[in-house]
């Protein structure tokens, strides 16, 4: 089978649809929404664009056709996602989080759960359906999310769900979930929430997912997080106080950590192409700028060798990031989540860190003009770009550890991804690096051994 990067006629049509949506519907709203001091108001300003995306089928494109979705694979989704992210990655995340939020149902749900939850998501006559994704928790002792697979039940995710009389009673707090508070701060239509259903077991056995519908008593949504970048994307703080959910809303019992791991596998190429798109937007803008701006000289700066070389390096990096994202998407389309964790992590880490440098280099080409936020878009592009390496399973907190856990396995073949061979990933590949040793413990051991 030949290696071919040519888009099919259907993919070109999808790309055109997404590009026109981004340029005609999203672009006119972005500047004002990003500048809005109240992040919730900025989020609400994008609601008309979201409704249009739902009507066009972009929101439900990745869901199975049998439930009313578009049935597109990951590679197809990336083609559309790049065009939207090149205009604004915030609205792209508002659109795309539906797939992430309902991923636990698609991967681990029963036939009844798939029919109920996916059918509702794909057939909303109001075109406003949202499914939030609530994994992350506030930083603290314990706290955060990076060590979700820690062997101790007292570490990692601490939002609990206890089964009482046929209902799960949820207590705890989530921080950073996307779109979970909904358009009106009263909750998204549905939220998938990673919870600890067994207080006696570690992360590899004690976690599950609960689907929590809008209007559930005991759920409180705190004000949105006021972020430096990606301001159009809503991230909030949720408090659960004896919130009760029917037992039949439990998904993937005892496999919550695999839901987390595979969820970040799902988003690896998706984040990769988003970072590529933002870098592409910076590159294309500055390339055009360099062909007219003279910096006080007699000719446009594109004719200076240093500028030409820098732009050449920028172009190379953008292309490399796109193709790595496509390869990860192709691997997912071929094998699903069996072993895609490593390639997905590579994609997320490499593209996000490379593209930060791309945008910065674009600013270097423009000089101080890039700092003029009223006249040029580099300010927003850099603010948005800086989030990619540190969110969605931060590169230092989680992504590199996921790759490490796979590579440490004696069965791992370092040539497998080059050959596009299947790579197995299971519970045995999780938990690496979660148990650490404090310096004083090392000294105590050394003293005891004398």
| 3-state secondary structure at position 214 | coil
**DSSP conformation letters of 324-392:** HHHHHHHHHHHHTTSSHHHHHHHHHHHHHHHHHHHHHHHHHHHGGGGG-TTT-SHHHHHHHHTTTTTSS
- For the entire predicted model, the pTM comes to 0.95
DSSP label at 169?
A: E
Q: Confidence class of residue 139 from pLDDT cuts 50, 70 and 90?
A: confident
Q: In angstroms, what CA-CA distances link 386 with 6, 178, 267, 357, 390?
A: 31, 17, 17, 10, 8
Residue 21 has pLDDT above 90, yes or no: yes
We find that the CATH architecture of domain 9-122 is Orthogonal Bundle (1.10)
Is the predicted pLDDT of residue 146 greater than 90, yes or no? no
Q: Which segments of 202-255 does DSSP mark as H helices, in order?
A: none
Check residues 429 and 144 and name the one with the higher pLDDT.
Answer: 429
3-state secondary structure at position 206: coil
Reply yes or no on whether the pLDDT at 438 is more than 90.
no
Token digits of residue 366: 């423009």
Say what percent of the chain tops pLDDT 70: 98
Alpha carbon separation from 297 to 53, 62, 288, 293, 370 (Å, rounded) = 46, 51, 17, 9, 19
Which residues pair with residue 161 across a beta bridge?
170
pLDDT at 450: 54
Please give the distance of CA 71 from its chain centroid, rounded to a whole number: 20
CB 418: neighbour CB atoms within 10 A? 9
Tell me, rounded to whole angstroms, the distance of Cα 309 from its chain centroid: 32
Give the domain ranges of the chain: 9-122, 131-254, 257-429
Q: Are 313 and 233 in contact (CB under 8 A)?
A: no
pLDDT at 145: 80
Please state which CATH class domain 257-429 belongs to: mainly alpha
Q: What is the mean pLDDT of residues 320-347?
A: 94
Average the pLDDT over each of 42-51, 228-237, 262-271, 441-450 and give the range with the smallest value. Answer: 441-450
Residue 445, pLDDT score: 67
Q: Which of the 8 DSSP states describes residue 180?
A: T
* One CATH from 3.40.50.150, 1.10.150.120, 2.40.110.10, 3.20.20.70 for 131-254: 2.40.110.10
């Amino acid at each position: 089978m030949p290696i071919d990067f040519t888009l099919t006629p259907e993919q070109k049509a999808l790309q055109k649809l997404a590009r026109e949506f981004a340029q005609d519907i999203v672009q006119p709203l972005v500047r004002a929404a990003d500048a809005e001091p109240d992040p919730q108001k900025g989020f609400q300003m994008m609601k008309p664009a979201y409704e249009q995306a739902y009507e066009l089928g972009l929101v439900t494109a990745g869901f199975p056709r049998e439930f009313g979705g578009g049935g597109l694979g990951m590679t197809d989704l990336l083609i559309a996602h790049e065009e939207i992210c090149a205009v604004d990655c915030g609205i792209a995340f508002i659109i795309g989080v539906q797939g992430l939020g309902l991923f636990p149902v698609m991967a681990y749900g029963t036939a009844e759960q798939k029919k109920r939850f996916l059918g509702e998501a794909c057939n909303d006559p109001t075109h406003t359906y949202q499914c939030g994704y609530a994994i992350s928790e506030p930083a603290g002792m314990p706290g955060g999310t990076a060590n979700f697979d820690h062997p101790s039940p007292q570490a990692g995710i601490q939002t609990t769900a206890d089964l009482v009389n046929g209902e799960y009673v949820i207590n705890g707090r989530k921080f950073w979930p996307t779109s979970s508070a909904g358009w009106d701060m009263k909750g998204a239509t549905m939220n998938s929430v990673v919870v600890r259903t067994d207080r006696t077991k570690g992360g590899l056995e004690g976690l599950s997912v609960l689907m929590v519908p809008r209007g559930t008593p005991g759920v409180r949504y705190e004000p949105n997080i006021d972020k430096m970048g990606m301001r159009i994307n809503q991230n909030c703080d949720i408090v659960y106080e004896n919130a009760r959910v029917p037992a039949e809303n439990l998904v993937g019992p005892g496999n919550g950590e695999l839901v987390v791991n595979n969820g970040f596998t799902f988003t690896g190429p998706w984040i990769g192409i988003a970072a590529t798109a933002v870098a592409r937007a910076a590159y294309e803008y500055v390339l055009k700028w360099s062909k007219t701006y003279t910096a006080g000289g007699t000719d446009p700066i594109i004719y200076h060798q240093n500028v030409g070389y820098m732009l050449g390096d920028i172009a190379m990096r953008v292309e490399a990031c796109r193709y790595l994202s496509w390869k990860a998407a192709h691997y997912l389309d071929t094998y699903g989540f069996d072993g895609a964790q490593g390639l997905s992590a590579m994609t997320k880490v490499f593209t996000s860190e490379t593209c930060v440098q791309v945008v910065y280099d674009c600013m270097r080409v423009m000089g101080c003009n890039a700092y003029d936020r009223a006249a040029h878009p580099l300010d927003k592009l850099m603010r948005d770009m800086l989030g990619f390496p540190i969110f969605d399973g931060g590169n230092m907190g989680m992504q590199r550890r996921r790759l490490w856990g796979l590579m440490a396995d004696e069965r791992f073949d370092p040539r497998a991804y080059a050959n596009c061979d299947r790579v197995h990933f299971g519970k045995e590949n999780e938990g690496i690096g979660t148990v650490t040793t404090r310096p004083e413990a090392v000294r105590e051991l050394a003293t005891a051994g004398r």
